[in-house]
Structure 1
Amino acid sequence: MAGEPLTDDVLSAILMRPLRPTRVVLAEYDPQWPVRFAARAADLRRILGDRARLIEHIGSTSVPGLAAKPIVDIVVGIDDPDDEPAYLPDLEAAGYEVGAREPGHRCLRIGEPDEPVNLHCYPPDDVETRRYLAFRDRLRASDADRDLYERTKRELAEREWRDINYYAEAKWPVIREILGRAGWVE
């Protein structure tokens, strides 16, 4: 979620695809999103067994009442995401495709176009994992912060982006503000 400022070169080194200009389309909250998460979580438990130290629904689809891109985001705690032979062949055999590769993190995709899922593999106690959960929990607990975040997303969705990752980066000032109210210290 956080890191060095994005550039086309940084993204090109991480992504397994070329940059894609995009417009963000937000959908109103769908009560099927947690159902989709639960089905994928059950599959992940079957596929990974005890290699999955945690499986959590994150991102906007995990927050009741919040508009979101209709992509379910999941974080899976893998002891060492860089040790791909320990888990990646099983995920790829189940249809997951690596979308991004960076030290200590893999992002995979499945379910396109109808039920897309982003699967983030981090160590279970990684700062990014903890940040995702703290942010989700704050949005679930605070109507004011959830509304602020949704307004920000809607404003940003009015623009065209060189890649979806630039949209994600543009949300960081409000994410930091909300995390601060949640007691998160960088």
Structure 2
Amino acid sequence: MEKYGAGSIVVSDYDPNWPTLFAQECGRIKQTLGAFALAIEHIGSTAVPGLPSKPIIDLLVGIPNLEQARRQCITPLEALGYIYVPEYASWLPRELFFRKGPPGPWTHHVHMMEPSHPRWETLVVFRDYLRAHPEAARAYADIKCELAASSNDNIGAYRNGKTAFVEETTAKARAWHAAVRD
């Protein structure tokens, strides 16, 4: 069982300061990585107004080359207080994953990948769909709150419990996104 770093999983009410916290951290990362950071997106539940969430700001950082990022980004992000989590590579292939915060509760996650990685589009369209469809965001909130209550500190159970909803909603999000673009 993969334990959650802070003990029990807590899903908090939406905090209107989350976008500001994202913007502040985005600025720090841009300043640190310079032009190597091609794009930085606020993803995850804290990026959806009104959606309850674990209070962790997720940042999606686009880089031109993953192997080059492995060589030149880990140390600078560690200087910002991030911890590189290489063991997540088996769960998140073609991505570098970092956590920030004391050994729980975590305050920030960085997902670093090339923007051509299929997961990039998945994360962004899922976020955009929840922003545009409050009924889907409410359904997701209900699932997250139920899972937080039943999973205790088992982050794997919490994450896996959301899979069916995330996959179904992502399929809807892709269709919606394609229709909006046309």
TM-score, normalization: structure 1? 0.82
Q: Aligned equivalents of 1:123 and 1:53: distance in 2?
A: 9
| Equivalent runs, 1:86-165 vs 2, <5 Å | 86-100=72-86, 101-102=88-89, 103-112=93-102, 116-160=107-151, 163-165=154-156
Partner of 1:181: 172
CA apart distance, 1:114? 7.2
Amino acid corresponding to residue 164 of structure 1 in structure 2: I
Partner of 2:38: 53
Q: Aligned equivalents of 1:111 and 1:161: distance in 2?
A: 20
CA apart distance, 1:94? 2.1
CA apart distance, 1:115? 7.0
- Give percent identity, aligned residues only: 33
**Do 2:151 and 2:157's aligned partners in 1 also have CA atoms closer than 8 Å?**
no
Task: Return structure 1 stretches of 4+ with deviation > 3 angstroms.
Answer: 111-115
Q: 1:184 to 1:104 in 2, by over 3 A?
A: farther
Amino acid corresponding to residue 20 of structure 1 in structure 2: K
3-state SS of 1:132 partner: helix
Q: What is the Cα-based RMSD across aligned positions, in Å?
A: 2.1
Question: Which moved further from structure 2: 78-87 or 32-41?
Answer: 78-87
3-state SS of 1:97 partner: strand
Partner of 2:3: 20
Question: Which moved further from structure 2: 61-70 or 88-97?
Answer: 88-97
Q: Aligned equivalents of 1:165 and 1:79: distance in 2?
A: 30
1:22-57 per-position Cα deviation (integer Å, ceiling 9, x unaligned):
532111000110000000000011000111111000
Question: Which moved further from structure 2: 131-140 or 160-169?
Answer: 160-169
CA apart distance, 1:184? 5.1
* 2:40 pairs with 1:35: no
Question: Which moved further from structure 2: 50-59 or 110-119?
Answer: 110-119
Partner of 1:78: 63
Q: Aligned equivalents of 2:138 and 2:165: distance in 1?
A: 11
Question: Which moved further from structure 2: 108-117 or 93-102?
Answer: 108-117
3-state SS of 2:38 partner: strand
Amino acid corresponding to residue 170 of structure 1 in structure 2: G
Q: Which has the higher strand share?
A: 1
CA apart distance, 1:91? 1.1
For structure 2, the residue ranges without an aligned partner over 5 or more in a row are 177-182
Amino acid corresponding to residue 90 of structure 1 in structure 2: P
